[in-house]
Structure formats: structure tokens, C-alpha cells
Amino acid sequence: MSSNPLESIGQKAKEASRILAQAPTAQKNAALCAISATLKKNSAAILAANEKDVEAAKAKGMADAQLDRLRLTEARLQAMVDGIGVIHALPDPVDRLLESVTRPNGLRIEKRSVPIGTIGIIFESRPNVATDAAALCLKSGNACILRGGSESWHSVSALIDAVQTGLKAANLPAEAVQTLPSAERAHVGDLLTLNAYVDLIIPRGGKGLIARVQAESHIPVLSHLDGICHTYVDAKADPAKAVAVTLNAKMRRTSICGATECLLLQQDIAATLGKDILAALLDAGCEVRVPDSLMALDTRLKKAAASDYGFEFLAPIIAVAVVADVRGAVDFINTHGSQHTDAIITEDTAAADYFLRHVSSAIALHNASTQFADGGEFGKGAEIGIATGKLHARGPVGLEELTTYQYRIHGTGQTRPV
């Protein structure tokens, strides 16, 4: 057996997970309160640690969108505390009775939610993922091992210090939430082969990270690919809705995964309604990259390159393509998208139905903004991200999605007939 440098971290996490799995709701909630209190108490130290990360990232020439994701402020720290408050208020997802059936032989079969065990979370840039993830795992009875990007090393370490202080204050093991011993990149590989102790890996980041995790992991993966979201404006779209929804889908916040990155226009309305939508985007300060056929519509338009499709800008930039109809739109999305979130704008219910049924995304919307791709907007209260794989959970991953289940069968001495 080759030794894994994270062996001891894994072992401690597994031991902590057994305690957490049986912890009463009140104790888990007490830990969440204590974590919030510690985050506030340690805020100066946390912001100072973050400042180190931001300065180092600036020196390395990090792009503005990424810098914005990395930066913590008093307000963002308060938002993190508020986020923990939301999780505190949510019902405990463990030990829910999911199904119950009494069989003709008298066996009572209960299907009950149980924690998954230990979850490894690998994320990039945003340090607030650390407290969100820790709080969600804690409330759902899972231990977790967090690995932020090396650029957020100081921030994440300071945040996890506060989390562990909170855990100890509630008599829960500090090892329920751990981070790695250093920012060394090799530790990602070590974490992915810690299958004796880790039950699930959740990567949150770009295609490079996801691809690496999927290739190297010996542990089941719940992928959180960033969103390459599309809005398709159909021939029978209501013009006012089409303009308002597309503008919101792209421009409300451009740095979130539910932001539309590509606009698909049905060919018959491209030069009419399409022109109005492009003008609205341009007026709002969006860079609009279109195919040759649309270049004449507005002097402010830029020409799209092939690489603009299937690309996540996370910025006020949008790629535009023209498609023949809803079938063409679905084919385009299933080829270029990331199975995250895609929308159709139309008053044609048959086209909407076709779109919702055939698009392979976790979230398919009719006449609504892709920016609704968010656990809070689904009524889940909080999420660890939007899962883009097909197994276990798709779309927003909240507390319930961080549990699995066990069958518990109550008998009175039943034997199975031959």
C-alpha cells in the first residue's frame, strides 16, 4: 500500500463523519451559530488574510472578473454569516422518511435519508465557498475536506480556522471540516485517491478542473461545471418578454454560472426582434459577437469567432448564433452547452414542450431568465452549486442532495419462502 500524504486527514474525517452522522439537529445548529460568531469575531484577521491573496493575485495579473470572485469585504463576510443563518433555519435533511411500505408479509420497509459520509470539495477562486460548503456539509451530517484554489489559500485557511473553533464550541470534532496541509497542487491528486475515506468529490470550477478530477478521481464525482447557458428566442416569442428576459439573463450579474453566454435567434426573427434584443444588450454595455449574417444590424456589433461558442465569458460579452428552429436550438445547446441551464422564449407551447423535453440540461426554462439557476430561487435556501452531471443530483445541490438513503426493514421474524 503506497502511502497517501493525506491518509491521516482522511482517517480523521471518517471518524468525525461517524459522529456527525448521529449528531442531533440542535447540536449541529449550535455549531452553526458558533461558527457565525467566530467569523464575526475574526473578521479583521480574515480580511487581512484575503488582502494577501488579492495582492498576490493582482501581482500575477489575474483578470478583473476573477479578482472580483476572490475579494472578501465586510459586506461579503456578513453575507457569508447570513448564508450560515439560512442553513441554520433549514430543516435537518437527515433521517427523513422518504418512502414507507408495508409488504403483504408484514415487513415494514422504510427508506430514510442518511448522510453520505465524507465529502471532498475542490473549488476555485471564491473563498465564500468554504463557509457555504462547510455549513451545508455540517447540517447534512457529512464531514468534509476542502481544497480551495492556491490563490485563495490564506483566505480559506482563515475561514476554516473560524469554522473549527465553532465546531469545538459545540462539542463536535474540529476534524469534521478540514483543509489540506498546503496549497501544493499535488494534493488535489492525493485527495482524489483517498477512496478509503472519502465518499464523494465535488469539484466547483472550470472545465480544466472538472476534466482533471474526472480523469484522476477514484471516488464518485458530482461535477459542478461552470455554466455555459443559452437563451433561445423562438419565432413566436413575445417581443417584450424576449428583450427583458434576455437582457436579465446576460446582464443582471455576468460573473455567475447561471448567466447566459450565448443567444440563439430563430432565423426568421433575427433581423427584426433579434435586432431589438441586440440593441438592448449593446445599450446596456454588453459586447455582442455575431455571425457575418447579422453584422449589418448595428454598427456596434463585433464578429464572432468559432471559439466564442461553448465559451463561458463570465463578463459582459455574449455570443450570438442563428438557428433554423427549436430543433436546431436544441442540437446547438446539446453540442455546445455544459448541461447546466438553458431557456426558450416563445408563446408556442409545442415548441416550449419540445425544448424542455429534448434539451439535456439539468435546468430547462420556458419564458424565464437563466439567472434563476440558483438553490435559493428553487426554495432550497442554500446550495453548494449547480450539478451538471447526470447521477445522484442535478441542478442545485442543497442539503437534501447531500444525503443518500438507507433501507431499514422492520420484521417480526419473517423468513423468505423458497
Is 405 a binder of a second copy (CB under 8 A)?
A: yes
Are the beta carbons of 96 and 112 closer than 8 angstroms? yes
Stretch that binds a second copy, among 121-129, 216-224, 261-269, 300-308 (CB under 8 A): 216-224
Is 116 a binder of a second copy (CB under 8 A)?
A: yes
Stretch that binds a second copy, among 57-65, 76-84, 194-202, 269-277 (CB under 8 A): 194-202
Pick 154 or 250: Cβ nearer a second copy: 250
Is 245 a binder of a second copy (CB under 8 A)?
A: yes
Question: Of 2, 3, 335, 412, which lies in the binding site for a second copy, with binding defined by CB under 8 A?
Answer: 412
Min CB(324)–a second copy separation in Å: 18
Is 302 a binder of a second copy (CB under 8 A)?
A: no
Pick 155 or 369: Cβ nearer a second copy: 369
Sequence letter at residue 303: K
Is 165 a binder of a second copy (CB under 8 A)?
A: no
Is 215 a binder of a second copy (CB under 8 A)?
A: yes
Pick 238 or 348: Cβ nearer a second copy: 238
> 236-239 contacts: CB < 8 A, separation 24 or more?
236/346, 236/347, 236/348, 236/351, 237/266, 237/269, 237/273, 237/345, 237/346, 237/347, 238/345, 238/347, 238/367, 239/273, 239/276
Q: Environment class of residue 397 by beta-carbon count within 10 Å: exposed (0-12), middle (13-18) or buried (19+)? A: buried
DSSP conformational letter for 202: E
Best CA proximity match to 143, nearest among 28, 35, 21:
21
Question: Of 48, 89, 240, 296, which lies in the binding site for a second copy, with binding defined by CB under 8 A?
Answer: 240
Q: How far apart are CA 350 and CA 69, in angstroms?
A: 40
Min CB(284)–a second copy separation in Å: 13
Site size toward a second copy (CB under 8 A) is 64
Are the beta carbons of 136 and 384 closer than 8 angstroms? yes
Are the beta carbons of 21 and 141 closer than 8 angstroms? yes
Positions in 92-111 near a second copy (CB under 8 A): 101, 103, 107, 109
Q: How far apart are CA 266 and CA 351, in angstroms?
A: 12
Positions in 4-43 near a second copy (CB under 8 A): 22
Pick 47 or 192: Cβ nearer a second copy: 192
Residues 6+ apart with CB under 8 A from 13: 118, 143, 144, 145, 175, 176, 178, 197, 198
Is 418 a binder of a second copy (CB under 8 A)?
A: yes
What b/e readout covers 331-351, taking b as 16+ CB neighbours within 10 angstroms? ebbeebbbbbbbbbbbeeeeb
Sequence letter at residue 172: L
Min CB(347)–a second copy separation in Å: 10
Are the beta carbons of 20 and 158 closer than 8 angstroms? no
Question: Of 23, 371, 384, 398, which lies in the binding site for a second copy, with binding defined by CB under 8 A?
Answer: 371
Is 76 a binder of a second copy (CB under 8 A)?
A: no
Is 255 a binder of a second copy (CB under 8 A)?
A: no
Residues of this chain that bind a second copy (CB under 8 A): 22, 101, 103, 107, 109, 116-117, 195, 199-200, 214-215, 218, 220-222, 238, 240-241, 244-245, 247-249, 252-253, 356-358, 361-369, 371-372, 374, 377-379, 389-392, 394-395, 404-416, 418
